[in-house]
Structure 1
Amino acid sequence: MQPSKDICWSLTIGMVQLAFMVLPVQAQECSKPIGKPNMVLAEDSITKVTFGDGTKAKFECATGYIRAGGSLSVTCTAGVWSEVELTCEKRSCGTPGEVQNGKYILDGILFGAKATVTCDTGYKLVGSSVRNCLVGGWDGRVPVCEVVKCGKPPAIVNGGPVSPPEEEYNYRSVVEYSCEKDFTLFGAKSIVCEKDGKFQPAPPECKMVSCPTPVVENGVRTEGRLPPYKHKSFVTYKCNDGYKMTGEASLTCEKEGWSASIPTCKAIDGPTDPGPTDPPAANNHTWAILGSVLGAVVVLCIIGVIYKFRDRFRVGYSGNVATNISEDREL
């Protein structure tokens, strides 16, 4: 029985020694290493659960990131990994390109960024308005901004576009209208193709314009045509003698009617008869002076006549006396 106890004891001691020999070996292994953000274990290392002493594990940058520096690998030494030196940064997609008649609004050019397209006024987007910065660069294609187009311009009665209408018009194209003979254009003469693909403002209208024949009593037409009076016709009137005009002498037929009210001719008032009333007191002195002057003139005329006859009488008398004396002497 004694030999069996020795054998058991020997086996026990051997097992303990073996355990002490195995433990140091197990303590030298490393579990999976943990890297920094934005990196993962490489394919040849990711499947392992433990790493023996002195073995290496390899990292690589995560999707969308690129190596910025540092070693890719770490080493297991006595159960401890060496420091991770690898650094990763976001991949750059660069410029998304140029958009003709539009532009990008960017929130960055690194992995995960977005580029939103806006077209200029009068242009519309064809395709997606957003591009994403992915591993391989910007996704999708450079979008296209096409010019907005308008269809045929509206037709109008008694008129139409000056030039033959086309099937479509580009943004900011202008269409000009005109009216047929004897019709007048009301509203905007031209319309424009706007950013919403419609013409603005509303097209004009063509209407017949006529004005009633003016009636000016006690007056005559001196200029202008005979009725009917259409748009822009004009007439000029003059009053008869003894009448005075009130209002505008010339009228023009406008869209809303005559440019002014029809003039009138009113009789000119003559001087009033004062009747047999005495002259105003203010004129009495004037009449007195005038009467004195006239009286003096009459007196002077009478005196002149008297003197004239007296001289003639004296000449005649002297001749007669001389004749008588000579006759007496002869006797």
Structure 2
Amino acid sequence: MEGEYKILCNNGKWEKKNKLTCDRKNIPEADVISENKQRYRYYEQVQYRCKDGYQGQFTLTCRGDGWIGNPRCTENTECGETPVIPNGKLVTPQRQNLRHIQARITCNTGYSSQIGHLPCRGGKWIPDNISPKDICTPTAKHCKPPPKVENAVVRTSYQKEYLSNSAVTYQCRDGYYMEGEYKILCNNGKWEKKNVACTLTYKMHFRKSHRRFLKIFQF
């Protein structure tokens, strides 16, 4: 309220000397949705709507002793569904009507997180200065698809990326025989180098027969 509000009796009539006004009332949690101005007249009403993260709507009235009304906004604590966390998930508490709700972060095997919980503020899940896609990060470098081996197939299901310390197994096509190793391991972004080869079956029999012949001949 600005100034005083006085009336005088003048020759049988009340005369207003000063008009009562109210300065706009700023509510941090709400915005003015009616006419927004700096000063309001006596008995003029102002409507407010609560901002995002809060719920409610109220009206204030300019009266002789200032603004009359209940300027109240209730914080929205219903967070709803949690965001998608690539290579991980959020475990939410059973009750979601409490303040300062937190959801526990669990990452998939081969991934870890720098933060343990995701807080809910104002009805929204808000990561602390981190994007949801960057929450669960690899503990070691991933490997690209394994190298191809002629006349062999990979028995392990195909993936775009393989976790460190994961293995793939090769199997020769029909008519071929496995020589050397049949399994390789991903180690911090690189596949270990092993001799994996598939040889025609008749060639393998020929080699074995040739070795037996040499042993007999040497004897």
Per the normalisation by structure 1, the TM-score is: 0.29
More strand by share: 2
Per the normalisation by structure 2, the TM-score is: 0.39
More helix by share: 1
- Decide which structure has the larger Cα Rg and report it: 1
